[in-house]
Each structure stands twice: as C-alpha cells, then as structure tokens.
Structure 1
C-alpha cells in the first residue's frame, strides 16, 4: 500500500509539474478564444472557437468527432482511451451571450490577478482547463484511467435546445460528469442548480372598431392583462419558484379592439416537482376564459432541468473535497440560481459536479472576470478528482 501511494504521488507530481509548465500556453489559448466573438446565434463565431479547440486536440493526438448543426455551431466530441472500463465526461460550452463586435470593444486583458473579457470565465477558461487537464492525464496517468470524453457544445446560453439530447446521449453511460463552468467567486463548486422553463401564452379575440362598435369586439389584450395578473401571483419566492413576463405584444391599432395577444414567460425552480405544480396552475389560468369568447393556449416548458443534489452528487463532492485537501485547497459547495447543462446529467442519476473551472464572477456583465492564480490550481484539482474517483470506484 505504501508503495502504491508513492507511485500515485509521483504520478500526481508529474501531472502538476506538467500543468505548471503549460501556464503560458494555456493563457495564450485563452486569450485567443476570448477574442473570438462566439454569440450563441453566431454559428461562424462559435465554429472559430471550435477550430482552436480542434487544433489543440490534434496537436495532442486526441481523436475527435464533429457533429455539424444547421442553425448553431458544431458539437465536438473527443475521447481519450484509458486502460480501465467506463468513462468520465467533461463538458463545456463554446458560446457566449455577447453579440458580434463585443471583443473589439473590450478584448482580453490582464489586470493584476484578474483576467477580463467577454466569456473569460463563462466559460472559455473552462474549455482550456478541460483540454490541458485531459492531456496531462493522457500523458501521465493513462494506465490508471478509464476513458475520458470531452464534449464541447454550441448554444448553452440559449438553454441548450439542440445539445440537450446529445448531452443525455453522452452522459447516460458515464460514471461521473464534471461540468467546467466557473467556480463561484468564493471558490466553491456547485452541487445544486435551478432549472429554467420558457413558455408562451397566445390569446385570440375578435377585432372591432373601438369607438363605434366596441361591444362587438373581444379584447385579447384585456384577457392577457387579467391572466398576467393572476399568473404573477403564482410566483413563490420562499420556494424559489419565479415567474417573469419577458415579451408582451398585442393589438393592431389604437382604435381597434385587439384580436390577438401573446406573452412569454420565464420561470426558474429548484425541482421538477415545483415546476410541474406551477405549470398546472398556469395552465388552469390559461384555460379559463375570463372574457367570454377568448381562446387561449399555453406552449413551451422546461428548457434546462434543475441540478438536484442526490446521493451520487454528494459522493462525488466528497471526492473533490478529498482531492482538494491534497492540494491544500479548501473547497466548499454551493447551490446557485443559474441553470446549466449539469442539470441534464444529474437528472439521469449520474454523479455530477458543476463549477469545476477557474474562479470567476460577474458573468454576462461588462466587468466579467477570472481569477488568474486559480487557473492552474483548478486544473490540478480536476485531474486529482478524476484520479481519486477512478481509484475509489475500483474500476
């Protein structure tokens, strides 16, 4: 046992030394992809980020598959074959919520111990971390490893409408999943996340002249106003279930009774159960005609599933904590309101940890940042966590 521990320590030291040696290369790669606009709807921009990723994979001799998409950028799936059974999935998204031209206004820059730029921690630093950690494990721990799969998705910022199925496909047979979203500003990782849903209410009324024949009209706008008031009252902040009306539109002209109206709704929630209860209540309001003659329908539903903390998540968190102790890091856990792809994998019952990337904050804002001196340490933490997971799983 003592000899085994010595061998493990020597292997980890080689991994850590290698990652230390790659700091400048990693920073150059991060600067390169941060300075590429990759708005979710900018297919070419996302694919330019993907081109950098593919080049790094090719340089390391890591095989990959490209899945092209009509509307969005490509999916990239890379696999490092290990000597043991099973696989561990690492995930990250290539897109940002920032429109083309953003990087010209505020390109990548270093401010002391902070890195700035659109998407620097959400989550382009996570992408670079995935690649460098996987390469280190390939070089120095292949005999001890199961397969490692890297999945790069193109449209997470939109709720992963096409990636959801691919994530489920790649995760359903995984032993564990590490999502490389940024660590929270206090350094904690994420073991629970809210889910999100997008819905739309559409209402039909009947047009008429609002001065001469208002009594002949049926106002879709009025019906929508009543429904919106009732639906907003369903929000329960104590449970963390939110209701927000995003876009509202209706009517034709100021002197015409509105024949059509619609509103979009966004909701966030901690559990599927909470959302299902909310949905039933919303649907009851939608199905009730408060103004005689109106017809209404509700469409949409859950976009990203909540990451609910189950036994597998708890066990994986303990492994990450144990790995952190060996690196003299204090890692805590946190639940966070923002939805992420980790919800899809956790919902399968697969042990999942989110927020394994470098520490960052102010995501989507002008002053988004990544903490520079966490870049390499979080790679080391990921590598050590994977190795410890494989060891304790006795593969």
Structure 2
C-alpha cells in the first residue's frame, strides 16, 4: 500500500509535527559521514551475531548474543536490565535505558531470536557477495538490531542528549508471537511517546506502515484407537476426521492483503498398526482487522460441529497472547512522512507498504503510541535459506534511524487518540 506524499503532509500538520518535516530536506553531513564510517564495523558485529545460533527457545545462544550487544550498550552509558521471559524455555529479554536532557521518550524494539534451529549457523555461516549478506537471521532481525546499536553509537559519539529517554528492548521470542515479552512491552509502551521497530524493510526500500495480526489457530480431533489389522472397525480414525475438517476449512485465501489462513503443522498417529485416536492441525491465521478473528472462528467452529467419522470430537481454539494488527493510522503515516523527508535529504526515495508478518509495533499501536516499522536494512527471503540483506541499504537505513531518533527526541509526536 502506497500513499501520496501531498496527502500525508496534511496529516502531519494535523498532528502538529515540526515545520522542518515539511520543508526542503537537508542532509546532515556529520551524521551521514558517521554512518558511512560505521559500515565496516557494523558488518563485523553482524557477522559475529549471525554466526551464533539463537533460534526461539535456544537459551544459551540467546544469552550469548544478548551479552555481546549489552556490552556495547553498557559502554555507551545505558543501564542494562535482564528481564526474565514470561514463558518457560526462553532467554531473558534485555532492556537498555539511557536518560537524556530533552523531551521525547523513544522505545526501540528488536528481536534476536530467529526461526532457525541449532547447527544452522555452522552449516551456512555469514557470507557476502557484491550486493548481499546472507546467513540465519541476517535480516530478520539481527541486521536491524545491529543497526540500532550503531545508531545509538553515532548519537553517543556526537554527544546527542536531546531526548527524555531512549529504551532499547531486545527481546527473545518474537518469532513465536512474543510469548515471553507481551507484559514487558505493554509496560515499556506506557512510558514512551513513540516506538521504532527494527524489523527489516522490504525490498527495494520500503517502510512498513501496516501489518496483519498473527494468530495460531488449532484444530484437534479425538477418536478411538484400535488394531489397524485385526479390528480397524472398532476404531474411530482421528486423522481421517481431521482431513475432513481441513477440507471444510479450506475456504479462506492463502495469499493477499486481507485474511489469509495457511496450514502449517499436522500431527497424527504413533504407529503404523494403530488407528490414531488423536490428530491435530495448526493454521497460521493472519488478519487485517481485529474483527476478522471472530469471523474466521465462527466458520471453523461451525464446521467442527459436523463430523464425517462417527463418535469423533473436534475442538477448535486459538491461544493468547497473539499479535493484533498494526492498522493503517494517522500516527504511523506522520512518522513515515518524517522518514520520507529524511531520506529525501540524501537524495533517496523510500516508499510505504505492509505485509502479513506481525511484529511488536502492533502492541505499541494498541498501547496508544505512534509506531513505525520496517526500519532495519532492506532485505528479503525471510524464514528461508535464501534470506538476505541488501548491503547498499546499510548506510542509508542507519542514517535514517539515527536522524529519526534525533528528531523524535527533540519533538515527540502526540499520542494516538
């Protein structure tokens, strides 16, 4: 989704943004020079953390990555707090806080967990070619987290203090819907004026101004076990009934900007000679509006009332917490307008879009503060072996984040109505 800059200038004025957001863009040569100079070290740190496995639930790997990042933030004067995850089997979350002398309270959020299992980094470690960097989590989201560290380093080195406080949350379970950090995020949002999210930008150079909500929807069938050779008729095949339910539920789109529902996991049976007495399916449900969830649940629950295999029972449910949508809103649009003006100052154009990948920005929006997402380096191939980061986006995106923090520290946006 893209919007015309002229229309957004009006939205900006309504939200009482500073005049410089709508005037001719100017390049900050000092910040740009620092962003250029940081590239080599930025890539070295990125290589270091990409080569440490930290898939969601990898407690030791998560600790290692957090220790590396925390040491750098502590050296800049940040107070570091390790906050126990709100779910078992997850590394602690890291909250880094720095007080300034200005007004704006800025919350940066990034996640160090990836979707990749143990041993992935050894099999395909960090590497680069002329245009891209590769490796597990190189873009989603270690590239963004490293960018956040270097934006703060530039501000530190230049003695920038014109902000009320900067809080950098590095959380450890975003890839599973942040079950280890929902309450923490709510708390941090309540003490912030704006949230900047370090998820990667889509290619070629896109800000994320809307996101779908993400819900794990479960369908479970209970049947009756029996010997598959001697007395199969005595059984009630849960797997067969699950297939019936999956077929009935196959009425929602699998791609597109609206509701999508995709089958992602199946479980049934324990041995080849036993009629399975249980079976389960999990769907990744993505919703554009919160009202979409009860609509989908009504259909799936109605289907569950009709079974093809007698004497089987079907249970349908979704689990809390889940990510709500980041809906299109004036607060995010106004932040995007600021970002566009900053980018124009370096002679570049950044566009706006949205996608089905959920993030913590939705929780910030729910908490009543403006949020801008997709501020990490531009990238693609997410959640696959082909994941990559565009090297040419490193310096412009670092410059953008640094300047946004400066502007928002000086003049924070109003909270959402």
**What is the TM-score when the length of structure 2 is the normalising length?**
0.84
Q: C-alpha offsets along residues 190-236 of structure 1, whole Å, 9 cap, x if unaligned?
A: 01112221122222233456677666544433332322211112447
Aligned match of 1:384 in 403, 407, 413?
Answer: 403
- The alignment yields a C-alpha RMSD, in angstroms, of 2.8
Structure 2 counterpart of 1:242, from 240, 248, 260: 260
Kindly provide the CA deviation profile for residues 305-341 of structure 1, in whole angstroms up to 9, marking residues without a partner as x.
Answer: 2221112111111111122222322111011122222
Conserved? CA contact 2:76–2:156, under 8 Å: no
1:94 counterpart residue number: 112
Deviations 1:323-361 (Å, cap 9, x if unpaired)?
Answer: 222232211101112222222222333211111011222
Name which of structure 1's ranges 313-322 and 198-207 shifts more when overlaid on structure 2.
Answer: 198-207
Q: Tell me the residue number matched to 2:316.
A: 298
Distance 1:238 1:29 in 2: 36
Question: Can you give the 5+ residue segments of structure 2 that lack an aligned partner in the other structure?
Answer: 1-18
In structure 2, relative to structure 1, the CA distance for the partners of 1:328 and 1:155 (3 Å cut) is same
| Matched-pair contact (CA < 8 Å) for 1:90–1:150 | yes
Q: Which moved more, 1:199-208 or 1:304-313?
A: 199-208
Once the two structures are superposed, the pairs formed by residues 331-346 of structure 1 within 5 Å of their partners are 331-346=350-365
1:373–1:254 CA distance, 2 compared to 1 (3 A) = closer
1:43 aligns with 2:62: no
Q: How far apart are the structure 2 equivalents of 1:180 and 1:167? A: 15
SS at match of 2:369: coil
Match of 2:41 among 1, 20, 25: 25
Superposition deviation, residue 46 in structure 1: 1.3
Q: 1:146 to 1:297 in 2, by over 3 A?
A: same
Q: Which runs of 5+ in 1 are unaligned?
A: none
How far residue 88 of structure 1 moved from its aligned partner, in angstroms, is 0.8
CA spacing shift, 1:109–1:295, aligned 2, 3 Å: closer
Aligned to 2:6: none
Corresponding residue to 2:132 among 107, 114, 119? 114
Q: TM-score, normalized by length of structure 1?
A: 0.88
- Relative to structure 1, is the Cα distance of residues 198 and 134 closer, same or farther in structure 2, using a 3 angstrom cutoff? same
More helix by share: 1
Deviates more, 1:311-320 or 1:137-146: 137-146
Give the Cα–Cα distance (whole angstroms) in 1 for the partners of residues 40 and 255 of structure 2. 45
Number of equivalent positions: 389
1:50-97 CA distance string (max 9 Å, x none): 111011112222221111345112211111212123411111111122
